[in-house]
Amino acid sequence: MAVDLLLGLQWGDEGKGKIVDVLTKNYDVIARFQGGPNAGHTLEFDGIKHVLHTIPSGIFHDNAINLVGNGVVIDPVIFKKELDNLAKFDLDYKSKLLISRKAHLILPTHRLLDAASEASKGKAKIGSTLKGIGPTYMDKTGRNGIRVGDLEMDNWEEKYRALANKHQAMIDFYKAEIEFDLAEMEAQFFEAIEVLKELTFIDSEEYLFQAQKEGKSILAEGAQGSLLDIDFGTYPYVTSSNTTAAGACTGLGVAPSRIKEVFGIFKAYTTRVGSGPFPTELFDSYGETMGRVGREFGATTGRPRRCGWLDLVALKYAVQVNGVTQLMMMKGDVLSGFDKLKICTAYKYKGEDIAHLPYNIERENVQPVYTELKGWKEDLTTMRDPSEFPQELNDYIDFLEKELEVPIKIVSVGPDRTQTIHR
């Protein structure tokens, strides 16, 4: 059986957690393939809101196995907190949560290095979530990292100490003014490691290979968004992993030829949290309304998200890089009551209109060129069928489908599972 992918097409926070939760009933295995606790996947059902950071969003269903793949970086302390939250809901997670031995561990000193590096950058800071993501992936590619499988070996604490000592020298080098109590952080870390060790560690590529042979259905769950991809995003204002489709192959050990559907998720407008270019960003009442009605605050850091019109140039780029086969439009309900809706269909770049993403999309380099559509007044949150959609919403959807040349299969009209309309 083939593997399907689910990816965010913008700067993250598109609503991947909600859609994975909705789709899980169709899959035997849900597998996270990159990123770490910088992600915040929000799910709402039965009047309760759950936020997951590392654990795949299929965990609330009985039928699915949830796998944390080799491409993910795990902070045991945050992982333990996630498990504690699940335990509050009497969820038997142990029987359906598997962890790749090849996933890398985020050490306390990785978090400190993240903070020291950001503090040293001044105005050029990335706006990192400070979860230690960058330094952990640096140690992975630098071939110094500690992996989950190392915890099964006798000498892992020696390896830990050598790496933590090296990190301390690097932290000193930054001369950054950051306050921390490493002894306390390490105590929490080692306590959490013991909890992690109670879970099942596996050779996940072999597990997924066998699952495919047995005809099981697999959904690979992405984190962050395509424009935060380390290669294809707005570098250096990106995260440190491949958030695009190719990342699922390396982050799980799934061959490209096995991938079937690529579900691309986008918001009906655009948001970004942290620093970096954002051509359609709004600083007026429209942007303020999107932020307020859409409750646009980071699920991991609580930071307000920057808001703007839908950027079709960037979205088309993401559709192409990922080979998206089906689109899902989130938060259409937030735009109810807008008198007009603007969609960026080109950039003014060096005096010309261009329809592709150039190397540099900083404000001084590109200015958005907009097409204007009429807004709708109706409240979408109570709608459950596309036949109820106002004409203006159908026009908005038709315009996007024509431009992107990919069907929009799901329109989400609220955070709850039930507010998901299939077309």
Binding region for ligand IMP (CB under 6 A): 11-13, 38-40, 126-129, 131, 133-134, 223-224, 228, 237, 239, 273-274
Of 4, 13, 114, 311, the catalytic one is 13
Annotation marks residue 395 as catalytic: no
Nearer to ligand IMP, 127 or 149 (CB): 127
Identify the helix (H) or strand (E) that includes residue 121.
helix 108-121
* Amino acid letter, residue 244: T
Nearer to ligand IMP, 10 or 66 (CB): 10
| 221 in Cβ contact with 30 (< 8 Å) | yes
Smallest separation (angstroms) from ligand IMP to the CB of 137: 9
Smallest separation (angstroms) from ligand IMP to the CB of 72: 13
282 φ, ψ (degrees, to nearest 5)? -110, 140
Of 4, 41, 104, 229, the catalytic one is 41
Strands 306-308 vs 270-272: parallel, antiparallel or unpaired:
antiparallel
d(CA 255, CA 267): 29
d(CA 140, CA 156): 16
Smallest separation (angstroms) from ligand IMP to the CB of 275: 6
Polymer length of the chain: 423
Strands 326-330 vs 259-267: parallel, antiparallel or unpaired:
parallel
Smallest separation (angstroms) from ligand IMP to the CB of 183: 25
Count each helix (H run) and each strand (E run) in the chain, helices first: 11, 20
Strands 326-330 vs 408-412: parallel, antiparallel or unpaired:
parallel
Nearer to ligand IMP, 100 or 224 (CB): 224
Question: Rounded to the nearest 10 degrees, what angle do helices 182-196 and 76-88 cross at?
Answer: 60
| 105 in Cβ contact with 42 (< 8 Å) | no
Annotation marks residue 61 as catalytic: no
Nearer to ligand IMP, 21 or 392 (CB): 21
Nearer to ligand IMP, 11 or 201 (CB): 11
Structure tokens at 230: 């380390």
Give, as one character, the DSSP assignment of residue 305: P
Task: Give the residue at shortest CB distance from ligand IMP.
Answer: 274
Smallest separation (angstroms) from ligand IMP to the CB of 57: 13
| 370 in Cβ contact with 345 (< 8 Å) | yes
Nearer to ligand IMP, 96 or 306 (CB): 306
Q: Where are the beta strands (DSSP E) in 16-128?
A: 29-32, 41-45, 48-52, 65-68, 73-74, 97-100, 104-105
Q: Please, which residues have CB within 8 angstroms of residue 247's CB and are 6 or more apart in sequence?
A: 33, 34, 71, 222, 229, 241
Nearer to ligand IMP, 65 or 171 (CB): 171
Smallest separation (angstroms) from ligand IMP to the CB of 90: 28
Smallest separation (angstroms) from ligand IMP to the CB of 124: 12
Nearer to ligand IMP, 58 or 222 (CB): 222
* Amino acid letter, residue 366: V
d(CA 102, CA 89): 29
317: helix, coil or strand?
helix
CB count within 10 Å of CB 405 equals 10
Smallest separation (angstroms) from ligand IMP to the CB of 75: 11
353: helix, coil or strand?
strand
Residues with catalytic annotation?
13, 41
